[in-house]
Structure 1
Amino acid sequence: MTGPVVVGIDDFEHSEHLITVAAREAEQRGSALWLAHAYHGFAPVTQGVPPDYTPEEIVRDLATSQLTALVPEIRARHSGLHVETAVVTGPAAPALAVLADTASLLVVGGRGRGGLAGQLLGSVALRTLARAHCPVLVVRGVSEQATGRVMLGVDVDDPATGPEVVGFAFEEAALRNAGLYAFHAWEDPSILYTYGSQAFRAEQRTEALKRCHDALAEALAPWQKKYPEVSVTSEVLTGVPTKLLVESTQLVDLVVIGARARHDGEDGMRVGAIAHTVLHHAACPVAVVPDR
Structure 2
Amino acid sequence: MDLPVVAGVDGSEESLRAVDRSADEAALRGAPLRLVYASLWERYEGSLIAQEVGRPVEEVIARDVMGAAERRAHQRRPGLVVTAAVLAEEPEAALVNESSLARLVVLGCRGRGGVAELLLGSVSLSVAAHAHCPVIVLRGRPEEPAVPGRVVLGVTEKGACPAAVRFAAEEAALRGVPLEAVRAWRRPAHTTAGHPPLSGAPVPAQEEAAEALEEALRDLPDGLRAQRRTAEGPARDILVDASRDAGLLVVGVRRRSGRFGPRLGRVAHGVLHHARCPVAVVPEPV
Distance 1:50 1:71 in 2: 27
Aligned partner (choices 227, 231, 236) of residue 237 of structure 1? 231
Distance 1:56 1:168 in 2: 42
- Misfit runs of 4+, over 6 Å: 50-56
State the Cα distance separating 1:154 from its structure 2 match: 0.3
Distance 1:51 1:66 in 2: 18
Task: Tell me the equivalent position of 1:108.
Answer: 107
RMSD: 3.0
Task: Tell me the equivalent position of 2:250.
Answer: 256
Q: Contact (CA 8 Å) 1:148, 1:176: kept in 2 or not? A: no
Instruction: After superposing the two structures, state which structure 1 stretch, 127-136 or 251-260, moved more.
Output: 127-136
State the Cα distance separating 1:265 from its structure 2 match: 6.5
State the Cα distance separating 1:193 from its structure 2 match: 4.4
Distance 2:2 2:58 in 1: 32
Aligned partner (choices 207, 210, 213) of residue 204 of structure 2? 207
State the Cα distance separating 1:287 from its structure 2 match: 0.1
Q: Contact (CA 8 Å) 1:44, 1:55: kept in 2 or not? A: no
Identity level (%): 36
5+ long unaligned stretches in structure 1: none
State the Cα distance separating 1:186 from its structure 2 match: 0.1
Does structure 1 residue 270 correspond to structure 2 residue 263? yes
TM-score by length of 2: 0.86
Task: Tell me the equivalent position of 1:136.
Answer: 135
Change (3 A) 1:172 1:52: same
Change (3 A) 1:213 1:55: farther
Change (3 A) 1:51 1:173: closer
- What are the residue-to-residue correspondences of 1:272-287 with 2, within 5 Å? 272-287=265-280
Q: Contact (CA 8 Å) 2:45, 2:57: kept in 1 or not? A: no
Change (3 A) 1:11 1:2: same
5+ long unaligned stretches in structure 2: none
State the Cα distance separating 1:45 from its structure 2 match: 5.3
Task: Tell me the equivalent position of 2:30.
Answer: 30
Does structure 1 residue 122 correspond to structure 2 residue 121? yes
Distance 1:13 1:146 in 2: 18
TM-score by length of 1: 0.85
Change (3 A) 1:56 1:265: farther
What one-letter code is carried by the residue in structure 1 that aligns with 2:154?
Answer: G
Q: Contact (CA 8 Å) 2:184, 2:232: kept in 1 or not? A: yes
Does structure 1 residue 216 correspond to structure 2 residue 210? no
Q: Contact (CA 8 Å) 1:165, 1:289: kept in 2 or not? A: yes
Q: Contact (CA 8 Å) 1:108, 1:137: kept in 2 or not? A: yes
Task: Tell me the equivalent position of 1:146.
Answer: 147
Q: Contact (CA 8 Å) 1:255, 1:284: kept in 2 or not? A: yes
Change (3 A) 1:287 1:56: farther
Q: SS at the partner of 2:102?
A: coil
